[in-house]
Amino acid sequence: MTTGKQRRVVITGMGTVCPLGLTLEDVWAGLLAGTSAMGPLESFPAEGLPLHHAAEARCFTGEIDNFGPLDAEKKKAIRKGLKVMCRESQMAVAAAQRALHGCGLGADQHHPERFGCVFGSDYMLTLPEDFTAGVAKCRNASGGFDFQRWAVDGMPQLTPLWLLKYLPNMPASHIAIYNDLRGPSNSITVREASGHLAIGEATVTIQRGAADMMLAGATGTRVHPMKTVHALQSEQVALGNGLLENAPPASWSRPFDKNRQGMVLGEGAAVLVLEELEHATARGATIYGEILGHAARNAGDARGVGRKHRAMALALGRALEISGLSPDRIGHIHAHGASTVAGDREEARALHDCLGDVAHTIPTVAASSHFGNLGAAGGVVECIASVLAMRHKTLFPLLNFQIPDPECAIRAARAGDPPGDVFISSSVTPQGQAGAIVVGAWDMPA
C-alpha cells in the first residue's frame, strides 16, 4: 500500500515500566513532584562494589498483574513464557501490553500483516547464578574449577532454553507472537541510541507503506551484576563521593549541573504505538503527537573512539531538517542528560551546533535526572515524558540543577515552563552512535 503523498505518522499509544512507576499517571506525577527513584541496591548483593545505590524499577516484580489488563488467553500465554524471558524481556512485554491496551485497538480494527514491531535493547548478559550448578559440578578435589570437565559435566546443568532468555531479538519476538503482529519486525542493539533508532525505523516503515501500525520500543538496564561492573570500569558513575560527599543519593543524578559526578544506573522499558494518520482517525484513536523528524548518525576518530558531540550534532541537525521546522519553533529540548562531566559538555555543544543561539534560551529537561541511565530504554521513556508535558501544557523542572556549568550553556527547565508544541530529543552511546527525533503536539498550529 503506497501513495504519492507523504504518509503521516502519529502516536496513539504509550506504555512504560520505569523506576517512577508502571503507569503514565505514576510517571507524570513523579516528574512533577521532583521524585528521585534512587534507593539502596537490592537486585543483587553489592558487597565488594563501590556502588550501593541505583534507580531500580521496584514497581516491576514480574508478576502477571504488572503486564496491565489482559484477557485470559493472553494472560496464560505470557505467564507461561516468563520462564524464558530475562528481566529486560519481561519489562519489554509489559510496556508493550500496556501501550497496546492504552491505544484502544479493537481486534477488528487492524490487519495483522500491516502491524509490525521494532524493538531496541542493550547487549543482554546472563546472570552468574545461571552457571552456579554447572560450575559446582566442575570443581576438582582442591575446590578449583576444572575447565576440561565443563562440556561433559557443566553444560548439562544449564537450563535447556537458557540462551533464549538473553537473545536481544527476543523482546520483539515475544511481543509479535503474543499479539499476532505479522508485519515488519526488527531488533536494534545500539545501547542508549536504540530507542530513538527504533522510533525512526518504525516511522519510515509506515511512511513507505509497508505497515499501517508499528510498535516502537526499547528495554534496557544498567542494574545488573555484570553490567554494573562494566559501567564502573568504563564510564563515570556517581558514587556519592567528591563534591557530592555525604549528599543524599536522590541528588546524585544532576545533568548539566556544575557539581555533577557521573551517571546513576537504572533500568526500564517503554513503547510507543505509531500509526498512519488516516488509519488512526478512521478508528477514532486518541492521538498524542506526531513524529515530525528523525535521524541516526555516528562519529568516531581514527582510534575508534566515539565523538559524541559530532554524532549528536549531526543527528539533531538532520532530524530538524526533516521536520522542516526552524530552531525557534522548538518548545523544549529533552536532553540525553548523562550527568557525566564530559558527556554533558559534549551534548551542550551539539545542541548549540544544531540550534544556534536559541539553544541557551529553550527550556531543557532530562528525565534522567530522576532515574539515571536506563540503557536502551531511556530515549523512549524521555519521549513519553515530553509528550505528557505537551498534553498537560507544563514542563517538569530539571531535577537537581543548582549551579550552572559555564561549559554547558543550557537553559534548565523550571516548574511551570510552557512545553511549547514541539520538542527535540536525542541520545548517544559511548561509541559515538546517536539518534534524534522531533515530535509535535497533535494540536500544534500549522
Q: Is the pLDDT of residue 247 over 90?
A: no
pLDDT score of 110 = 78
pTM: 0.94
pLDDT score of 2 = 45
Phi, psi of 54 (to 5 degrees): -155, 170
Phi, psi of 167 (to 5 degrees): -75, 130
Helices then strands, each counted (H, E), the chain = 12, 13
SS3 state of residue 178:
helix
DSSP bridge partners of 121: 219
Tell me, rounded to whole angstroms, the distance of Cα 233 from its chain centroid.
Answer: 22
Q: What is the CATH number of domain 9-126+165-441?
A: 3.40.47.10
SS3 state of residue 276:
strand
Long-range contacts of 179-182 (CB under 8 A, 24+ apart): 179/96, 179/100, 179/115, 180/112, 181/112, 181/115, 181/116, 181/117, 181/215, 182/112, 182/113, 182/115, 182/116
pLDDT band at 304 (very low <50, low <70, confident <90, very high): confident
Question: Percent of the chain scored above 70 by pLDDT?
Answer: 97
Q: What digits encode the pLDDT tens for the residues 152-190?
A: 999 999 888 888 899 999 999 999 999 999 999 999 999
Q: Is the pLDDT of residue 1 over 60?
A: no
306 grid coordinates: 566515539
pLDDT score of 79 = 95
Q: What digits encode the pLDDT tens for the residues 368-416?
A: 999 999 999 999 999 999 999 999 999 999 999 999 999 999 999 999 9
pLDDT score of 401 = 97
Taking residues 228-253, what's their average pLDDT? Answer: 87
pLDDT score of 83 = 92
Angle of helix 378-392 relative to helix 194-207, nearest 10 degrees? 70
pLDDT band at 359 (very low <50, low <70, confident <90, very high): very high
Domain ranges of the chain: 9-126+165-441
Q: Is the pLDDT of residue 113 over 90?
A: yes
The end-to-end CA distance of the chain, in Å, is 27
Q: Which residues contact 31 (CB under 8 A, 6 or more apart)?
A: 20, 367, 370, 385, 388, 389, 396
Taking residues 48-66, what's their average pLDDT? Answer: 95
pLDDT band at 4 (very low <50, low <70, confident <90, very high): low
Q: What digits encode the pLDDT tens for the residues 315-354?
A: 999 999 999 999 999 999 999 999 999 999 999 999 999 9
Q: Nearest 10 degrees: CA dihedral of 348, 353, 359, 360? A: 60
Mean pLDDT value across the chain? 94
* Exposure on the CB side of residue 438, measured as CA atoms within 13 A: 25
pLDDT band at 245 (very low <50, low <70, confident <90, very high): low
pLDDT score of 445 = 66
305 grid coordinates: 573512539
